[in-house]
């Protein structure tokens, strides 16, 4: 079986180093917010190019704590996209704020900045720009909109660890940025983990307090916080994988280039790369009007594909008819019917990617006239 994502393969790549790091933690007698977390925070801040990096329990918590650290909560609105992992929207509500959703553009599938003015209200406090599938959202327009309207820009970089925009790492551009380190991410733990980056030391310190009950001094809560601590085991694993992140992203880019080169001319819409941006291909997402048939064809050849995402957030039962959206959400709704993620991870072999390409191209011969 060729898996769509394969975090175990990455463990195998760095097994000796990871196992040694885990053993060191087990022998250390310090398992939560210790030296490994502190070292990861320093190294990740240096890598992204920010003043601060804060480790938290997962990416959803990272978003919630970032929103709360900016003093956004009840009676406030946060604009983001519906074409995203539901965690983005769930985190806004977890912080007590109200999500307002806009469509995405039809080329890069990131926030349609032309709709921001339509949904702006006196309650709007921030925009969450989701850097989807591995590359930047339209930061020129989004940054300008936030400046003009005195809004916070929160970056959701959960699918774009290591990507660049105009020479800057994503995660260093907004007021605060959030990363999921779920095992399948470009920088993935072996379990749940998350990171927050910011250039504002006051905001960074507040996040540190929020992740542990609002403590500056142990057992004394200066304000209401919660428990979202990163454990030493995951931090130790992430420190090792961070050393290889650029090299692994390079492998993803090479595989994506092969897909794009050999799938050109098929009845497919292939990923596009935004000008002045680097795409690190967390996912290789195609569009096809014949998605169900292609999935079945891939299955017959023991190839797993995935859909990111099969239902827009604004149409999901938990959110439908209660979240304000832009008037036109047609691109998001169409993407939900057509997007398909092909297998892509640094350890995907040349033989296996050839199998995927051959299966896709042989299937799409049937649809050459569509």
Of the three residues 243, 258, 291, the one that is the final residue of a domain is: 243
Domains identified in the chain, total number? 2
Percentage of residues in the chain having pLDDT higher than 90: 98
328 and 198 in one domain? no
Query: Do residues 123 and 30 touch, judged by C-beta distance below 8 A?
Result: no
Instruction: Please tell me the distance from the alpha carbon of residue 356 to that of residue 133, in angstroms, as a whole number.
Output: 19
Percentage of residues in the chain having pLDDT higher than 70: 98
297 and 182 in one domain? no
Query: Is pLDDT above 80 for 101?
Result: yes
192 and 58 in one domain? yes
What is the 3-state secondary structure of 189-219?
Answer: CCCCCEEEEECCHHHHHHHHHHCECCEEECC
212 and 162 in one domain? yes
Predicted model pTM = 0.96
Contacts of 366 (CB under 8 A, 6+ apart): none
**35-88 per-position pLDDT tens digit:** 999 999 999 999 999 999 999 999 999 999 999 999 999 999 999 999 999 999
**256-301 per-position pLDDT tens digit:** 999 999 999 999 999 999 999 999 999 999 999 999 999 999 999 9
Instruction: Please tell me the distance from the alpha carbon of residue 332 to that of residue 105, in angstroms, as a whole number.
Output: 8
Query: Is pLDDT above 60 for 365?
Result: no
Structure tokens at 236: 């130790």
**170-210 per-position pLDDT tens digit:** 999 999 999 999 999 999 999 999 999 999 999 999 999 99
23 and 49 in one domain? yes
Instruction: Please tell me the distance from the alpha carbon of residue 269 to that of residue 107, in angstroms, as a whole number.
Output: 9
Question: What average pLDDT score do residues 315-324 get?
Answer: 96
205 and 284 in one domain? no
279 and 236 in one domain? no
Of the three residues 213, 243, 273, the one that is the final residue of a domain is: 243
**Which CATH number covers residue 325?**
3.90.1150.10
- Name the E strands within the chain: 52-56, 77-81, 98-102, 124-130, 152-156, 164-165, 168-169, 176-180, 194-198, 215-217, 220-221, 284-287, 339-342
**211-242 per-position pLDDT tens digit:** 999 999 999 999 999 999 999 999 999 999 99
Instruction: Please tell me the distance from the alpha carbon of residue 59 to that of residue 228, in angstroms, as a whole number.
Output: 10
User: 328 vs 82, 84, 338, CA distance in Å?
Assistant: 12, 17, 18
Of the three residues 243, 269, 295, the one that is the final residue of a domain is: 243
Residue 2, in any domain of the structure: no
pLDDT class for 368, splitting at 50, 70, 90? very low
Instruction: Please tell me the distance from the alpha carbon of residue 60 to that of residue 349, in angstroms, as a whole number.
Output: 32
Domain interval for residue 251: 245-365
When the pLDDT of each residue in the chain is averaged and rounded to a whole number, the result is 96
């Amino acid at each position: 079986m060729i898996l769509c994502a394969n975090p175990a393969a990455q463990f195998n790549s760095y097994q000796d180093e990871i196992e040694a790091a885990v053993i060191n933690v087990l022998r250390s007698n310090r398992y939560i917010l210790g030296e490994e977390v502190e070292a990861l925070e320093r190294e990740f801040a240096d890598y992204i190019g920010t003043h601060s990096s804060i480790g938290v329990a997962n990416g959803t918590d990272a978003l919630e704590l970032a929103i709360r650290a900016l003093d956004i909560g009840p009676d406030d609105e946060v604009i983001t996209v519906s074409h995203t992992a539901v965690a983005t929207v769930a985190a806004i509500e977890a912080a007590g704020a109200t999500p307002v959703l806009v469509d995405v553009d039809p080329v890069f599938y990131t926030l349609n900045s032309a709709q921001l003015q339509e949904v702006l209200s006196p309650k709007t406090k921030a925009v969450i720009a989701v850097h989807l599938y591995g590359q930047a959202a339209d930061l020129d327009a989004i940054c300008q909109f936030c400046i003009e309207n005195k809004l916070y820009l929160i970056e959701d970089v959960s699918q774009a660890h290591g990507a660049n925009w105009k020479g800057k790492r994503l995660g260093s551009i907004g007021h605060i940025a959030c990363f999921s380190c779920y095992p399948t991410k470009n920088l993935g733990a072996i379990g749940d983990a998350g990171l927050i980056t910011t250039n504002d030391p006051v905001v960074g310190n507040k996040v540190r307090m929020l992740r542990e009950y609002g403590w500056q001094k142990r057992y004394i809560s200066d304000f209401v916080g919660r428990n979202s601590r990163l454990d030493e085991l995951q931090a130790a694993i992430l420190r090792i994988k961070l050393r290889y992140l650029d090299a692994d992203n390079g492998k993803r880019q090479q595989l994506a280039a092969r897909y794009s080169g050999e799938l050109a001319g098929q009845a497919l819409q292939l990923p596009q790369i935004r000008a002045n941006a680097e795409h690190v291909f967390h996912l290789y997402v195609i569009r096809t009007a014949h998605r169900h048939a292609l999935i079945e064809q891939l299955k017959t050849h023991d190839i797993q594909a995935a859909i990111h995402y099969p239902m827009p957030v604004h149409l999901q039962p938990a959110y439908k008819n209660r979240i304000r959206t832009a008037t036109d959400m047609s691109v998001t709704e169409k993407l939900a019917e057509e997007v398909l993620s092909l297998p892509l991870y640094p350890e995907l072999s040349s033989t296996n990617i050839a199998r995927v390409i051959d299966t896709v191209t042989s299937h799409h011969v049937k649809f050459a006239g569509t």
